[in-house]
Amino acid sequence: MSRYFGPGARRGMAGALALCALLGGSAAAQDKTPIKIGFGMAQSGPLGPNGKSAMLAMEIWREEINAKGGLLGRPVEFVSYDDQSNPSTVPGIYTKLIDIDKVDIVMAGYATNMIAPAMPIVMRKKMIFPSLFGLGVNDNFKYDRHFSMSPAGPDPITAFTKGFFDIAMAQNPKPATVALVAADAEFSKNACDGARLNAKAAKLKIVYDKSYPPSTTEFAPIVRAIQATNPELVVICSYPLDSVGLVQAVNEVNFKPKMIGGAMVGLQNTVFKTKLGDKLNGFVNFDFWLPAKSLMFPGVEAFLKTYQERAAKAGVDPLGYYMGPFGYAYVQVVGQAIEGTQSLDQAKLVEYMHKTTFKTIVGDVKYGADGEWAKPRVFQAQFRGLKGTGLDQFRQADTLPIVAPADYKAADVIYPYEKAKE
């Protein structure tokens, strides 16, 4: 944790009344104590790779904003703790941040499972609560001070797989059957609920619909059970280590549905991409940012250059395409809100964040009444043309082109799946 203190300055004034008036009217300007932003963030455990990547991105923003004089003329300081990818650590972390560390702003860590346990703590204190890549976290809480840095939009649980189903149902002939499989965890269950709704809307017959324990390490039996139902489509809602195991199992048993993927967390990370390599060919999966021409918003190329220069030393994802831009934009929005209101008053920040369109390196961010993005922007992209496990091939946009939605589409889907395996 770094602390930055600027030099204080006082000027002589004539008359006690004039001095008192000046000091009373410019207290904020004289205050050089750091603005403390507190959060838990996975630096270890299964979510650690993503958490570390987000942390580097946030640190780059903090360094840049402090080089410009900070916020409200005060330096920005992060107070952060490793939540260890363990939801049980989260309530204690946020109680400490608020009651002991006395942070000015609290932000959530990464992922649905880490965000939800913090919500009751923050709600009691009536603080704003931005979150990073949560899915449907606020559906039950309905907290009007929650702001989601996730492009899932106003109907988040269906957004993750909507593009997958849109692509499938545009094929000729249309598929008729689908299998759904999910980890028994908050994000995966929410995403699978959304996939179920999308499947019903498409009038598909669901031939398999089961979950597996988060402790599962052997996935071939699950894949064989799905294969036995002979589905044309397979939607997988999984966390990182599960996603790796499932891709390996699909290749191991030579399972070839017409389309497979959907909501697999982890396949966006370079460490897992290079582990799986060409075993990924054909999978169609959600993503939030890729090096496509349509996503080169102002500032993102400069950010990625800085990120990638520092990634190896920091021991994080060397490309940073998934967590990097959104991790930066996450604090970028908070910084703009503080500057826009010239305040740390929570009520003023809430009002401002609900009415403002923020300009970020991931494009315009506008929040709806529920704190989700007013418009969804979740992509489906397809792995293709991969050979071996080399890193450099994942820098190329054509090995993971966006195939939906139409506004950002860079290539047609290769269908059925087995054609992309050739």
98 or 50, which is more confident: 98
Side chain identity at 47, as an amino acid letter?
Answer: L
In the β-sheet with 76-81, what is the strand arrangement from edge to edge?
76-81, 35-40, 105-106
Determine the average pLDDT of the residues in 44-49: 90
**Alpha-helical regions (H) of 342-393:** 346-355
Q: Which residues contact 200 (CB under 8 A, 6 or more apart)?
A: 206
Contacts of 178 (CB under 8 A, 6+ apart): 199, 204, 205, 206, 207, 231, 232, 233, 234, 235
- At residue 9, the pLDDT reads 36
Res. 24: pLDDT tops 70: no
Residue 408 has pLDDT above 90, yes or no: yes
Give the model's pLDDT for residue 225: 98
Q: What digits encode the pLDDT tens for the residues 91-143? A: 999 999 999 999 999 999 999 999 999 999 999 999 999 999 998 899 999 99
What's the rounded mean pLDDT across residues 76-89?
97
In the predicted structure, residue 17 carries a pLDDT above the cut 70:
no
Q: Indicate whether 83 pLDDT > 50.
A: yes
Full-model pTM: 0.86
State the average pLDDT over residues 310-317: 94
Q: Do domains 16-151+296-366 and 156-287+384-421 have the same CATH topology?
A: yes
Q: State the average pLDDT over residues 49-67.
A: 96
pLDDT at 149 over 90: yes
pLDDT of residue 31: 76
Please determine, for residue 12, whether its predicted confidence score (pLDDT) is greater than 50. no
Reduced to 3 states (helix: H, G, I; strand: E, B; else coil), residue 318 is coil
Q: What is the mean pLDDT of residues 69-74?
A: 98
Query: Which residues, at least 6 apart from 196, have a Cβ–Cβ distance to it below 8 Å?
Result: 180, 206, 209
Helices (H), 101-155: 112-115, 119-125, 138-141
The ranges assigned to domains in the chain are 16-151+296-366, 156-287+384-421
pLDDT of 234 > 60? The answer is yes
Instruction: Report the pLDDT averaged over residues 272-278.
Output: 97
Output the pLDDT for position 136.
87
Per-residue burial over 158-194, b if 16 or more Cβ lie within 10 Å, else e, is bbbbbbbbbbbeeeeeebebbbbbbbebbbbbbbbbb
User: In the prediction, which pLDDT does 30 show?
Assistant: 59
pLDDT > 90: what percent of the chain? 89
**Predicted pLDDT at 14:** 36
**What torsion do the CA atoms of 283, 284, 288, 290 make, to the nearest 10 degrees?**
70
- The β-bridge partners of 367 are 373
Please name the CATH architecture into which domain 16-151+296-366 falls: 3-Layer(aba) Sandwich (3.40)
Least confidently predicted of 12-16, 197-201, 321-325, 407-411: 12-16
And the tokens for 130?
A: 């931005």
Q: How confident is the model at residue 16 (pLDDT cuts 50, 70, 90)?
A: very low
The CATH number, out of the four listed (3.40.50.2300, 3.40.50.620, 3.40.50.2000, 3.40.50.720), of the domain defined by the range 156-287+384-421? 3.40.50.2300
pLDDT at 203: 98
pLDDT for residue 21 is more than 80: no
Average pLDDT, the chain: 92
Interval 339-379: pLDDT, tens: 999 999 999 999 999 999 999 999 999 999 999 999 999 99
Reading phi first (left if > 0) and then psi (alpha if -120 to 50, else beta), residue 334 is in alpha
With 60 as the cut, is the pLDDT of residue 35 above it?
yes
Average pLDDT value for residue range 264-273: 94
